[in-house]
Amino acid sequence: MSLESEVVKICQDLIRIPSVNFGEGRGDEKAVAEYIVASLAEVGIASEIFESAPNRCNVIARLPGRDSTRSGLVVHGHIDVVPANADDWSVDPFAAEIRDGMIWGRGAVDMKNMDAMILAIVRKWARSGYKPPRDIVLAFFADEEAGMTFGSRWMAAEHPEVFAGCSEAVSEVGGFSVTVADGKRLYFVEAAQKGIHWMKLTAHGRAGHGSMMNDENALTAIADAVAKIGRYEWPQRYTKTVKALFSKIAQVTGKKYDEADLRPLLSEIGPTARMIGATLQNTANPTILEAGYKANVIPGSASATVDGRFLPGYEDELNETVRAIVGPDILIETVSHDIALEVDFDAPLVDAMKAAILAHDPEGIPVPYLMSGGTDNKALSEIGIVGYGFSPLRLPADLDFMSLFHGVDERVPIDGLRFGVRVLNDFLKSC
């Protein structure tokens, strides 16, 4: 079976194993982990399952390279997926149906496509006896979709030895194409990630009967705080990655690059602008309200959850601004926190990515970008591993790729997947 045929088959196989992560510790990656172990064993690659909790499974394998004096590369993906409500989909979300030249199903984009690329490539290498230039550690993590507690964070804390000698990593959400003016394709390589600060805001007041006057209504106080946060216009802040991306967008499209306001350039990148626009500033979006239990009872307390995201170097600005907006009487507690990242785009590893893309799309233009979310690279960074997002895909110009992450009718173009596995194969052979 050819590399391109095998990646399609493996991607379908993985989607058909519903490794759903419901959050709050409720997930099950065991079946897909066992599939990966068997797939590697079939071609003589030994791997090991690390079970952080019942059925929360991570898979690790090390491929010896030709030059053991070089630092190793971690090639990783996560094997959990978010839930899918079948009633909302036009296809069975776990059937991996092929329709309109695409593989449909939960995980097709996030991120069983990349998992399939990795497996297809190393299986081909094993069958031919090929050894990569340096050691490669394959890591398939649990729990990426719910904070990485049972996955990469647990592995980095409890089993850092499996990454011994590794200095760099590649994983998801990078290397995909975005078509701009005159059909030019930019390939977005992830070189930075926003940090996360999810906050619970709580207001306390005076409980009482709903028919009476009450100037200490906790629900009113929390609603006012949430409304102010939701309406706040965050100032534009540009990191080096953002500047590099927008400079290239301006150059390619012939539009003006003006750091007084880079937002006009967002119109040049289509639907991708929804995600990229969030990388021009900190954000704080109210997501949950909790208060009351009966129509005629004023509650004594009320709370809201806010999804805060901060740019590298701007965490203090996020926290101080939210405090100033809500005032001193609102209690702010941290629900979840994660670091921001920004790495160097001028690096030999990136040069290898660029060369691999250009070998298969000579007119492609690799560019760095800042991701509004986060990946397992954050956990690896805490043990000194520099990570990039590089799961290459050449995408149709009219495909709203970003909407497919966690979306209904998630799907990946087969031609894009075939392109991606060729590019990733060349990259791993040259880096």
Q: What pLDDT, on the 0 to 100 scale, is given for residue 202?
A: 98
Task: Report the CATH number that the domain containing residue 100 is assigned in CATH.
Answer: 3.40.630.10
Indicate the residue among 316, 338, 360 that finishes a domain: 338
Question: To the nearest whole percent, how much of the chain has pLDDT over 70?
Answer: 100
**377 to 240, 268, 347: CA distances (angstroms):** 19, 29, 17
Do 45 and 74 reside in the same domain of the chain?
yes
Do 145 and 233 reside in the same domain of the chain?
no
pLDDT class for 193, splitting at 50, 70, 90?
very high
Domain holding 376, by residue range, is 3-179+343-430
Do 36 and 155 reside in the same domain of the chain?
yes
**Both ends of the chain: CA-CA distance in Å?**
25
Q: How many other C-beta atoms are found inside a 10 Å radius of the C-beta of residue 412? A: 29
Residue 210 pLDDT exceeds 90: no
Q: Note if the pTM is more than 0.85.
A: yes
Task: Report the CATH number that the domain containing residue 275 is assigned in CATH.
Answer: 3.30.70.360
Mean pLDDT of 63-68: 95
Do 224 and 317 reside in the same domain of the chain?
yes
Q: Classify residue 84: in a domain, yes or no.
A: yes
Q: Classify residue 86: in a domain, yes or no.
A: yes
Q: Which letter, b or e, does each residue of 151-161 get, where b requires 16 or more Cβ atoms within 10 Å of its Cβ? A: bbbbbbeeeee
Residue 213 pLDDT exceeds 90: no
Do 210 and 327 reside in the same domain of the chain?
yes
Indicate the residue among 305, 338, 371 that finishes a domain: 338
Do 172 and 209 reside in the same domain of the chain?
no
Residue 417 pLDDT exceeds 90: yes
Q: Classify residue 133: in a domain, yes or no.
A: yes
Model confidence over 11-29: pLDDT tens digits? 999 999 999 999 989 999 9
Strand order in the sheet with 301-310: 283-291, 301-310, 195-204, 331-338
Q: Classify residue 220: in a domain, yes or no.
A: yes
Sequence-distant (6+) residues with CB within 8 A of 38 are none
Q: What pLDDT, on the 0 to 100 scale, is given for residue 49?
A: 98
Q: Classify residue 152: in a domain, yes or no.
A: yes
Mean pLDDT of 124-153: 96
Q: What pLDDT, on the 0 to 100 scale, is given for residue 121?
A: 98
Structure tokens belonging to residue 425: 């194969």
pLDDT class for 214, splitting at 50, 70, 90?
confident
Indicate the residue among 273, 308, 338 that finishes a domain: 338
Rounded to whole angstroms, the Cα distance separating 328 from 228 reads 14
Q: What pLDDT, on the 0 to 100 scale, is given for residue 26?
A: 94
Sequence-distant (6+) residues with CB within 8 A of 299 are 205, 207, 218, 219, 291, 292, 293
Do 247 and 357 reside in the same domain of the chain?
no
Do 292 and 377 reside in the same domain of the chain?
no
Model confidence over 88-129: pLDDT tens digits? 999 999 999 999 999 999 999 999 999 999 999 999 999 999
Mean pLDDT of 153-176: 97
Q: Classify residue 8: in a domain, yes or no.
A: yes
Residue 147 pLDDT exceeds 90: no
Model confidence over 296-336: pLDDT tens digits? 989 999 999 999 999 999 999 999 999 999 999 999 999 98
Q: What pLDDT, on the 0 to 100 scale, is given for residue 181?
A: 79
pLDDT class for 358, splitting at 50, 70, 90?
very high
Do 163 and 23 reside in the same domain of the chain?
yes
Residue 402 pLDDT exceeds 90: no
Mean pLDDT of the chain: 96
Q: How many other C-beta atoms are found inside a 10 Å radius of the C-beta of residue 418? A: 19
Q: Classify residue 187: in a domain, yes or no.
A: no
Q: What pLDDT, on the 0 to 100 scale, is given for residue 1?
A: 81
Q: Classify residue 225: in a domain, yes or no.
A: yes
Do 81 and 199 reside in the same domain of the chain?
no
**157 to 47, 57, 73, 79, 204: CA distances (angstroms):** 20, 15, 19, 19, 38
Do 217 and 238 reside in the same domain of the chain?
yes
Q: What pLDDT, on the 0 to 100 scale, is given for residue 209?
A: 87
Rounded to whole angstroms, the Cα distance separating 290 from 383 reads 38
DSSP secondary structure string, 89-142?
-SS-TTS--EETTEEESTTTTTTHHHHHHHHHHHHHHHHHT---SS-EEEEEES
Do 347 and 208 reside in the same domain of the chain?
no
Residue 207, φ and ψ in degrees, nearest 5:
-65, 150
Q: What pLDDT, on the 0 to 100 scale, is given for residue 262?
A: 96
Letter for the amino acid at 206?
A: R
The number of folded domains in the chain is: 2
Mean pLDDT of 374-387: 96
